[in-house]
Amino acid sequence: MNRRNFCLSSATVLLTACTGSLFFKASDNVKKVYIIHGYGATPDDHWFPWLKAILENQNIAVDAVKLPKSHQPDFDLWQTTLAEHIGKPQKNDIFIAHSLGTISLLHYLSKHKPMSIGGLILVSGFCRRLTKLSTINGFNVDAYIDSANLDSAAIRAMSPQIYSIISKNDFIVDPEESLKLAEQLHSKVISVPKGGHFLAQDGFRQLPQILPPLKHFLEP
């Protein structure tokens, strides 16, 4: 186990010890937690399986959405897939998204404009073109981002509980872009000094920083 994984595991153990024999006691009003991955990923990658297992262990319904052709994402197809899984967002639904999944989810929420949702956590989020990443492996990142239409005011209104988890040395999404999004959404910021892009290769098969906001969302 490398040092970073050791630190993450230790943090999880410490948080669990501080919050009880398990993780939290969820309110009976919780409907579902949605996990939205990003470019080149699946629900089986990075920290997504770890988080899904924690939630399911607490008898919380989880939908880790599998977005098709993640190495060559199609904006309309991803939106259709989100619609198939989420439908009309409900007031107790909680949404967690990573990287390209964040702008995809925010467009979806902006389009459907639910009155309220249960909470929103954005990991390495962004809301506009990434100056250092216009394309990746032939995928036109700029064109995908240009297809998104975000209504920041509507998102703020539907959830006063928004968190942004931002790595100070993110090599894919400039931390300043994530901070810009956090500013627009008035979200609380959880800053991680050396998180990279929160990928498995960065040492993140767990993401303990996500547990405190989830605990806040889920407990009565």
Residues identified as active-site: 99, 170, 197
| Strand 162-167 versus strand 188-192 pairing type | parallel
Residue 199: how many other CB atoms lie within 10 Å: 21
| Residue ranges in 87-201 assigned as alpha helix (H) | 100-112, 141-146, 152-158, 175-185
CA distance 204 to 199: 5
| CA 66 centroid distance within chain | 14
Number of H helices, E strands in the chain: 8, 8
CA distance 204 to 220: 29
